[in-house]
Structure 1
C-alpha cells in the first residue's frame, strides 16, 4: 500500500505542471474568444494598474487591438493599436480625451459609447447595431445581425492621422496630426496639406495636383478619392473609374518587398509612408523631402538654411529647443481697434517655404508693403520681393523662414511686447553657475602656476648672475638659494 501511495505522489508531481499549463491554455483560449467580438450589454472601465494600453478587442490575426490608451498618465483615448509596434492607428476622441478613471465607461447597446456618467459624454458611434468587430486591416466596424455588406459604422470613415492600404480617403474626410497643427484634405483635383498656426487661419503649404497621366478627372461629376494601393503607391482616383488619375510612388514601388503599408501625417507637417517588415516600420515615402520645405522646421521666428540648419531670425537669440521666441497666437486688435503692442524685427535674404501658395499684394516698395501689414491687426508679418514687387502677407504668428541669400527679399515681422527668449531652465541655469565656478577655479590654478613658473625663471636669472659674480662657481644646490644672503642679492640686482 505504501508503495502505491509513493507511486501516486510521483505521478501527481510529474503531471501537475502539465495540468496547470493545460488549464492556463484553456482559460486563455476562452479569454481570447470573449474579446474577438463585442456584443450588446458590453461594459468596460479602465484599470488603474494599466500604464500604457488596456486591450478590449482583438482582430482575428492578433495584429490589431481596440482598447484604452493612457495619455499623459491622467487621460484616456479609445484607440486601435498595431500590437507588434504599439503604434496607434486610430483614436475615437483625439480632440476631447476622457479621464483615466473608474468612472469612465465604454459600453455597447447598439451604439459604442465612451462616457463618464458623473461628468460628460465623450464619443459614440450613434448606431443601432448588434455587435462590434475589429477587422485584420485595423478597421473597427459595427454590424447588425441581418447585415452582410456595408457596416452600420466603420472607423475607416473617420480617420485621425493615419491611412492604411486599401482605405479610401474622400473629400468629406480629414487627417489631423497629433499636435492638431496640420491637416490633409482633398480638393477638386489635388491633395492639400494645411497648417493651422492661428485660430481661424488655414494656410496651405503643399498642393499636389493630379498628373492625370493614365486618366483625366472629369469636372463636376463623381468626386475624387485617394487610396494607398497595395502595389505601393498613393493614388488619386475618380469614383467609378478604376484607373488612377495620379500615382505618387513609394520607394518600394515595383519591388518584391512585402509588408503592411500606411501613411501618417506627422507632427512636423510631413506626410510619411511606411511598410512593416515584421520587426519595424521602414520609411517608404515622403511628401516633403527637404527639411527647409517643412512648414515650421525651426519653430517660431526661426530661420532654416539648407547647409547650416536652424538659427533665429533676429540673429542674436541663440537657437535652442526648437523655438526662438515663445509661441504666440491671436492678433493685434482689441475689440476691432488696432494696438501697437509689438516691436518690429527685420531680416533680408528670407522667404516663406511655401510662398507660391500664399496670398500676396503687388506694391511699389518695401515701405508700402510694411504699411499694409502695420495697419492690418491680423497681419503678423510680410516678405517683400523687390524684383517682382510681390508682398506676401502672413496672418498667423511667424513661423520658420528660409534663408535664400538674395538680399532683395526683405522681411518685416511683428513681435508682441514681452515675447522674448524662453526663460532659462532652472537646471540649465544651475549648470551654467557650476561651469562659471569651475572656470574661476581653473583661472586661479593657472594663475598660481604661472606665478610659480615666473618665480623659478626669476630665480634662475639671479642664480646665473650669482655664478658670474663668483667666477662661475656655484656655492651649492639651487634649493639653498632661499637664504637671507640670496634675498639681499635679488633685491640688489633687480
Structure 2
C-alpha cells in the first residue's frame, strides 16, 4: 500500500517546489509509523529480561532510564541518576517517578557507558575498572516485575522464585509486602533504620557508626487487642494492608496490632506505601491518581520535638516555638548549631582527648529518655565527672529531683526545652582541627597586622612627599625616578609585610 501511495503521488502534476515537501512528509510519516511499531515491540520485550541481557546508561540521559516494566506499566526497573555523576538500580512508581526500591551496593557506580547491568542468571551491576558492585548471586532464567516486586525466576514447570526485591527492602514498604524480623528499612541518608523486636516496631538512630545497633528513639508495642503474641509460635511480621493500616501479625489470619491510617477502610484510593524518611519519621502515603497524599505519621506534627534530630546537632527544640541552640552564644538563624566535621569519632586518643569545650544548660531533657538507659547518681557533679573521665561520652543529662544520669555515647543531637530548671545538661563540643593553634597565634597575627599597617602609612607618606617635590620642580626627584626608586605596585611590597597581610586574611 505504501508503494502504491508513493506511485500515485509521483503521477500527479506537481512542480518541483511542491513535490519534495510532499514526498518528505510522506516518508516522515512512514518512518514515524514504523518507529511507533518498533517502540511497541521494545516495550513488549522489556516486560522480561532473559539470560544474555546487558545495558549501559546513556551519558546524556535524563534522571531515569527504564530497562523493564510490569505488565500494567505502573512500575519500572532502570538506572536512577544520583548526584548527577552516579547511578543506582531502582524500581520506581512510573506515574510519580517515586523510587520504591533501590539496590544496595557497597558504593555507587558511575553514570557512564562503562557501567553495565547484565543478567547471566544473576542480575549484576559492574564496570571494567571496579568489577562487580552488586549481584543477586542466583542462577535464574528471567527477570520480571510482579507489580513493584522485582523477581528472578526459573523457567521450569514451577516457575520458582529464586530472589525477590521484597526480601531486601531499602527505605519503603508497599502493599502486601511482608516485613520480617530479619529485615530492616534504612533511610536514604543511612542515619535511621526500622527493625522488629519480639513484640514491637522500633526506630533506631545510628549517630555513632562504631556503636553498631544504634539508639532506639521510637517504639510501638503490639496492643494485642485482637490476638496475643504467643511465645514459641514464631516471630512477628509487618504488612501494609490495602485497607489502610499497618498490621502486626504472628500468623496471617488475625493481627496482634493495627495502626490505622487516615484513609482507613477507604478502598479504591490507589497504591499505598510507607517510607522511613531522612528526618527519622515513618510516614505512610496513598496515591490519588495524581499525587501522593500523607496518610500516616509515626511521630505526629504535635510531637515533632520527639524526632531524634529535629533541630540538628546541639539544637534545642521547643514545641510550637521552633529551634534554638544549646549554647546561647550560637545563633540558629544559619539553620544549624555545629558543623558536621566536629561531630565524628569520639574524644579517645591522646591527641584528641582535650580538644573540646564544655557547655552547660538548664531546663532541657532528651526527647526519647524513656527508651534510654540511665544510672542513678548522688549529684550533678558526680554525673558530669563520669562523663568527663569517659572519652566515648559526649554529654550527660541529669535530673536533680530523681538523680537519674543519662549518658550520651554519640554526638549530641537535638534536646527538648522544658520548664523544669532542675534538669541540667553537660555537653562536650568538639573543637575543629587547628582552632587551638589559631588561638595561640592570635597575638602574633595582630602584631604582623600592626607592622603591615605601619609600613603602609610610611609608604603613603613617602609617595605624598615625592608628589609635592615634583610639583615644586625639584630636580632630585626626577633623578630618583630614573634610578628606579619610585613607588612600585602592591605586589612589590616587602616580602615580610606582604606575608603578614596574607596571613591575616587567612
**TM-score of the aligned structures, taking structure 2 as reference length:** 0.79
Q: How many residues align?
A: 418
> For 1:93, what is the secondary structure of its paired residue?
coil
Gaps of 5+ in 1: 422-494
Which of residues 226, 234, 249 in structure 2 aligns to 1:214?
226
Deviations 1:216-236 (A, max 9, x none): 111132111001011100010
Determine if contact 2:174/2:272 at 8 Å carries over to the other structure.
yes
1:325 aligns with 2:338: yes
Which of residues 75, 78, 101 in structure 2 aligns to 1:67?
78
State the partner residue of 1:6. Answer: 12
The within-5 A match list for 1:100-115 is 100-115=111-126
1:264 aligns with 2:278: no
> For 2:332, what is the secondary structure of its paired residue?
coil
> For 1:333, what is the secondary structure of its paired residue?
coil
Which of residues 190, 196, 200 in structure 2 aligns to 1:186?
196
State the partner residue of 2:488. Answer: none
State the partner residue of 2:444. Answer: none
Determine if contact 1:338/1:375 at 8 Å carries over to the other structure.
no
Between the aligned partners of 2:25 and 2:323, the Cα distance in structure 1 is 68
Deviations 1:50-92 (A, max 9, x none): 1311111111111111111111111111111111111111111
State the partner residue of 2:309. Answer: 296
State the partner residue of 2:179. Answer: 169
**More deviation, 86-95/213-222:** 86-95
Between the aligned partners of 2:323 and 2:10, the Cα distance in structure 1 is 83
Return the index of the structure with the highest Cα Rg. 1
Determine if contact 2:154/2:160 at 8 Å carries over to the other structure.
no
State the partner residue of 1:79. Answer: 90
**1:330 Cα deviation after fit:** 1.1
**1:18 Cα deviation after fit:** 5.4
Deviations 1:261-289 (A, max 9, x none): 00000000000000010111000000001
The within-5 A match list for 1:316-395 is 316-327=329-340, 328-334=343-349, 339-395=353-409
**1:14 Cα deviation after fit:** 8.6
State the partner residue of 1:282. Answer: 293
**More deviation, 153-162/198-207:** 198-207
State the partner residue of 2:494. Answer: none
**1:338 Cα deviation after fit:** 8.3
Between the aligned partners of 2:40 and 2:10, the Cα distance in structure 1 is 36
State the partner residue of 2:145. Answer: 134
Determine if contact 1:344/1:413 at 8 Å carries over to the other structure.
yes
Determine if contact 2:106/2:133 at 8 Å carries over to the other structure.
no
State the partner residue of 1:118. Answer: 129
Determine if contact 1:41/1:109 at 8 Å carries over to the other structure.
yes
Between the aligned partners of 1:340 and 1:220, the Cα distance in structure 2 is 51
1:414 aligns with 2:414: no
**TM-score of the aligned structures, taking structure 1 as reference length:** 0.80
**1:24 Cα deviation after fit:** 2.6
Change (3 A) 1:15 1:198: same
Between the aligned partners of 1:214 and 1:3, the Cα distance in structure 2 is 78
State the partner residue of 1:231. Answer: 243
Between the aligned partners of 2:28 and 2:353, the Cα distance in structure 1 is 79
**More deviation, 93-102/361-370:** 93-102
Between the aligned partners of 2:380 and 2:232, the Cα distance in structure 1 is 42
Gaps of 5+ in 2: 1-6, 436-506
Determine if contact 1:179/1:267 at 8 Å carries over to the other structure.
yes
Change (3 A) 1:194 1:18: same
State the partner residue of 1:452. Answer: none
> For 1:25, what is the secondary structure of its paired residue?
helix
Determine if contact 1:343/1:416 at 8 Å carries over to the other structure.
yes
State the partner residue of 2:474. Answer: none
Determine if contact 1:51/1:73 at 8 Å carries over to the other structure.
no
**1:13 Cα deviation after fit:** 8.3
Between the aligned partners of 1:368 and 1:261, the Cα distance in structure 2 is 51
Change (3 A) 1:7 1:284: farther
**1:117 Cα deviation after fit:** 2.2
